[in-house]
Structure 1
Amino acid sequence: MMTTTISWQDFEKIAIHVGTIIEVNDFPEARKPAFQLKIDFGTEIGIKKSSAQITLRYSKESLLGKQIIAVVNFEPKQIGTFMSECLVLGLVGNSNDVVLLSPDFQVENGLKTA
């Protein structure tokens, strides 16, 4: 797979932070199976919503309280009837199953990746 080279300045524009999933709802209107998430990124960033196609590996119950890594400075994106405000990051397998990126240890919500 060919990747595009970006400058360090381009990378520095991406705000990648840790947050805790505080609410998970089914998203039956989505074209591909997905959950609607509410994620707490701490006092500075606040709570953001995201649609995530993570139903192959995760149940709603297993996601509640889970810390994840997300891009928080994309423009909001309309996904059906839902407005997604951040992009939850994960690793995509051959079967399009997603494994979420998350810290090994509980950390403060809102911390930026380095």
Structure 2
Amino acid sequence: MATPLKPTVDPEETLGRLDLRLGRIIRAELEAGAPKRAYRLTIDFGKYGVKTSVGRFTQQSPEALVGQQVVGVLNFAPRQVGEVTSEVLILGVQVPGADSGEASPLIPQLEAKLGSKVF
């Protein structure tokens, strides 16, 4: 059963406050210190630098993730995941039939410039 939609919001007060940018995964490895199976991703956001993220994208191999362009939220507060500081949230969607939280990253249909604003 689908969950109900959330109330309507003003885009400038919500989406407009997020710094969504395009990056490329340059490294992916299993993060042993995470409470659930997860990868430590190193992502190049062009002029915004190289950032670390810990995410549950483990339905794909690390080799399949490296080179993919992904969408990240750059202005969330960093959070500690085991011994790693996750600096950016990579957006994804739930993988059908997988454990709760297992995701597939959102990827653009066409290549774009690293650091590009997502809107």
TM over 0.5: yes
Query: Secondary structure in 1 aligned to 2:35?
Result: coil
Residue matched to 2:37: 33
Unpaired runs of 5+ residues, structure 1, are: none
TM-score normalised to structure 2 length: 0.86
Identical pairs, percent = 32
Deviation track 1:19-42 (CA, whole Å, cap 9, x = no partner) reads: 000111211111110000110001
Would you say how many aligned residue pairs link Structure 1 and Structure 2? 112
Instruction: Find the aligned partners of 1:34 and 1:66 in 2 and give their Cα distance.
Output: 17
Query: Secondary structure in 2 aligned to 1:17?
Result: strand
Query: Secondary structure in 2 aligned to 1:25?
Result: strand
Which aligned runs of 4 or more in structure 1 are off by greater than 3 angstroms?
Answer: none
Residue matched to 1:12: 16
CA shift, 1:49, in A, is 0.6
Instruction: Find the aligned partners of 2:118 and 2:51 in 1 and give their Cα distance.
Output: 17
Provide the alpha-carbon RMSD of the alignment.
1.4
Unpaired runs of 5+ residues, structure 2, are: none
2:85 aligned with 1:100, yes or no?
Answer: no
Amino acid at match of 1:64: V
